[in-house]
Amino acid sequence: MTTVPQSVPAGTGLSGFNPGAGLRAGGPPEEAKVGGLLTPPQVFLSALLTIGIAFLFWHWLLRQHWMSLRAPSDWGHAYVIPFISLYLLWRERDRVVRTPTSTFWPGVLPFLLGIGAYFVSVVVIKNHMIQGLSIVLTIAGLALWLTGPKMFRLLFLPIAYLVFAITISEMIMIKITFQLQLIASQGAGFMLGMLGPLMGFAVEVDGNTLHVTPKGGASIPLNVAEACSGMRMVIAFIALAGAVALISAKYWWQRVAVIALALPVAIFMNVIRVAVLGIASTFDGELAKGDAHMMIGTLLLLPGLLLFLGIVWALAKIVEEAPAPKQTEHAPVRATRGWAALRRPSYVLSIIVMLICDASMTAGIHYAGIHLRKKAIQAPGNRALISLPNETPSWKQVGTDKLESAEIEETLGTKNYITRTFVRKDRKPDQPPMELQLHAAYYTGGVDTVPHIPERCYVGGGMTALRTEILPLKLNPELWSPHQGASASEQSGWFRQRVPNWSPDGAGSSVTLPRNPGEMKLRITEFAATSNVNGPKLYAGYLFIANGGHVSSAEEVRLLAFDLKSDYAYYLKVQFTSRSVRSPEELAEQASSLMSELLPEVMRCVPDWVEVQAGNYPAKETSNDAS
């Protein structure tokens, strides 16, 4: 029977993961520590646990990587967060090496709860942010389980800081930051208005769009693309404030104060960014376009850091607290050392649990036919929306198609779109013209995002939403015929329609319509200028065609398009806008007329979902990329 040494505290387990597990004077020398923190066996074990976490959550990590890579101005800071967490741990290395570890079995509960929450958020909720929070909970539970409460007190803040590496759900981000963007635009407009007379330019604020007009020059719009994306880098500034608070502030109240000031600082820096862009655009209008927004925003992180450090310095000067009493250093703890530490039951069990959970989730997902990673799918022949006819029996195009700048296209998120204005051909000479703008945009692959909708974009452009109604599209069912290719269980609701004879290149063929086309509805909102809500009105209505179905809200399209049973995903936003109509009902009537004539052509620009479900389209791939 082995006797436990008197120096080992009750409940203390293996010091193989205890950086401070040395011996008393006269014993064998301590093992060298990598970075002054971990011994080689501990490094090996940490790497093993990290690999286990990576394999368990590889789908989320890969998705977070692509989100950060594609939107570096919003989420590029996610790459830096883990290194800041490691630094927060390293700077406490003296306390870490003196703190004993122990197996704390209640930590298994948050560990398993995090894994379970991740699985539910993948297959039920389908929310990337909740998945990320579940991963942080899993890591925290694992740390508590393997190191015990004493060590977990030191690990808590570095682990909690990982939350800043999680992309926030776009719907939440929009609701939080959209009003902040308006505040920043108003502030930049005020600042430019003060500087304008001195520097020879005028400025006009319209929502979160600023129009800077140099003396004798044309008006230059600023911040237009961000009318739909909220305030860039706000999370990066908050993450920066959190890092400064944890690294530089000594007391908890100082940390709370710095983090609380993060949002005002982010707004102030955004005001400066827009004002700098406004001044720069008076010298070169190209500076208001392209990558100038991101470049100047990134450069402003440095003065933002200096501002946060100044806040910490000021707080330290305002209140001087007595230094904390020096902690008494206890003798190191004797325990199992070296590579034998890897045989600790809790470590072995944690690896086994992660392997079992990973295998179980993978097998269960494959068995249920669930596809977590959606493949992009295009219309046959990669037919684009720009190919839609510019004239129908009742409507004809006026003007040219509107092409957006590269910056707005980036915000829009697709290059397959069309913005075209039609005028009704059967109006009498004594009647005012009836104009109707059609905007359609096609998205595929990663569709679990919030689409750009008029309620957000037009309000960002300086308008006020007055009322919203959902009205049916009155299409002509006499043109439809039951789909003969659909299976008996799916045939109900599936119809085909022949492409009309006036079609430039599709006459005589037929296309599959969205399921239950007679139930298609428009969500129509009435808008007015914020400065004159009683003035002329603008009406905008939209619907989504997604994975063979249709919905009329941005919340529903995500659920429809991101169907776990489907390997592919797409959605098409179809929007009608007019200043010629006088009511939502009239917009629905005019949109029904144009949509009735264009519907077959529109459906030629999306995949035939019956053929997709039958496995006939697109052609089968040799590799299995279904998970």
Whether residues 418 and 460 share a domain: the answer is yes
Structural domain includes residue 37: yes
The pLDDT of residue 402 is: 93
Tell me: do 509 and 589 sit in the same domain. yes
Task: Please tell me the predicted confidence (pLDDT) of residue 4.
Answer: 43
In a domain, 445, yes or no: yes
Determine, yes or no, domain membership for 271: yes
Q: What is the CA radius of gyration of the chain?
A: 30
Q: 26-40, 340-354, 362-376, 572-586: lowest mean pLDDT where?
A: 26-40
Say whether both 412 and 553 belong to one domain: yes
Whether 469 is in a domain gets the answer yes
CA distance 266 to 474: 48
Tell me the pLDDT band of 567, cut-offs 50, 70 and 90.
confident
For residues 350 and 274, the model is more confident at: 350
Query: What pTM does this model have?
Result: 0.76
Q: What is the mean pLDDT of residues 584-593?
A: 97
Distances (CA, A) of 89 to 97, 198, 258, 273, 395: 11, 51, 20, 34, 67
Q: Distance (Å, rounded) from C-alpha 40 to C-alpha 201?
A: 64
Q: What is the pLDDT of residue 294?
A: 62
Higher pLDDT, 249 or 394: 394
Residue 6 counted as domain residue: no
Residue-level pLDDT at 325: 58
Mean pLDDT value of segment 462-473: 91
What digits encode the pLDDT tens for the residues 480-494? Answer: 999 887 665 455 789
Contacts of 51 (CB under 8 A, 6+ apart): none
Unique residue bearing structure tokens 């990066």: 236
Phi, psi of 324 (to 5 degrees): -65, 145
Q: Quote the domain boundaries for residue 556.
A: 380-482+495-613
Q: Helices 234-248 and 252-260 sit at what angle, rounded to 10 degrees?
A: 160
Average pLDDT, the chain: 82
| Separation CA 19–CA 361 (nearest Å) | 34
Residues 554 and 407 in one domain: yes
* Residue linked to tokens 């200043």: 579
pLDDT given for residue 108 in this prediction: 95
Residue 552 has pLDDT above 90, yes or no: yes
The average pLDDT across 491-512 equals 87
Give the tens place of pLDDT for each residue, 168-219: 877 777 667 767 777 777 888 888 888 888 888 888 877 667 888 888 777 7
Q: What is the mean pLDDT of residues 376-386?
A: 95
pLDDT of residue 571: 93
Confidence grade of residue 40 (pLDDT, cut at 50, 70, 90): confident
CB atoms closer than 10 angstroms to residue 106: 11
Does a structural domain hold residue 374?
no
pLDDT at residue number 227: 45
Higher pLDDT, 344 or 132: 132
209 closest CA partner among 413, 475, 409, 408? 408
Residue in this structure with the two tokens 């505040």, named with its chain if needed: 183
DSSP element (H, E) containing 508:
none
Flag the least confident range among 200-209, 255-264, 372-381, 419-428.
Answer: 200-209
User: In the chain, how many domains are there?
Assistant: 3
Give DSSP secondary structure letters for 100-128.
-----GGGHHHHHHHHHHHHHIIIII--H
Q: Does pLDDT of 517 surpass 80?
A: yes
Burial class of 10 by CB neighbour count within 10 A (0 to 12, 13 to 18, 19+): exposed
Phi, then psi, of 615 in degrees rounded to 5: 80, 10
The pair of structure tokens assigned to 536 is 């002329």
* Span between the terminal Cα atoms of the chain, in Å: 51
- DSSP-H helix ranges across 164-233: 170-199
Higher pLDDT, 225 or 321: 321
Please check whether residues 360 and 384 belong to one and the same domain: no
Separation between Cα atoms, residue 421 and residue 434, nearest integer Å: 10
Residue 56, pLDDT > 60, answer yes
Position 130 pLDDT exceeds 60: yes
CA nearest 573: which of 476, 450, 460?
450
Q: Are residues 352 and 471 in the same domain?
A: no
Q: Where would I find the H helices in 507-618?
A: 554-561, 584-603, 609-613
User: Is the domain of 452 the same as that of 508?
Assistant: yes
- Which range among 113-122, 414-423, 461-470 shows the weakest confidence by mean pLDDT? 461-470
Could you tell me which residue, 133 or 263, shows the higher pLDDT? 133
5 found inside a domain: no
DSSP string, 398-439: -S------HHHHHHHT-S-EEEEEEEETT--TTSPP-EEEEE
Whether residue 195 sits in one domain with residue 51: no
Flag whether 89 is in a domain: yes
Quick one: 282 and 411 in the same domain? Answer: no
3-state secondary structure of 5: coil
Distances (CA, A) of 207 to 91, 402, 474: 46, 21, 35
Same domain? For 359 and 384 the reply is no
Please report the pLDDT score of residue 66 as a whole number.
85
Residue 400 — pLDDT band, cuts 50, 70, 90?
Answer: very high
Q: Are residues 536 and 587 in the same domain?
A: yes
Give the model's pLDDT for residue 622: 41
Taking residues 51-59, report their average pLDDT: 92
Give Cβ neighbours of residue 549 (< 8 Å, ≥ 6 apart).
514, 515, 516, 560
In the prediction, which pLDDT does 9 show? 41
Confidence of residue 42 (pLDDT cuts 50, 70, 90): confident
- Same domain for 553 and 421? yes
Q: Is the pLDDT of residue 122 over 90?
A: no
Averaged pLDDT, 456-477? 88
Distances from the Cα of 538 to the Cα of 264, 357, 393, 577, angstroms: 34, 54, 26, 7
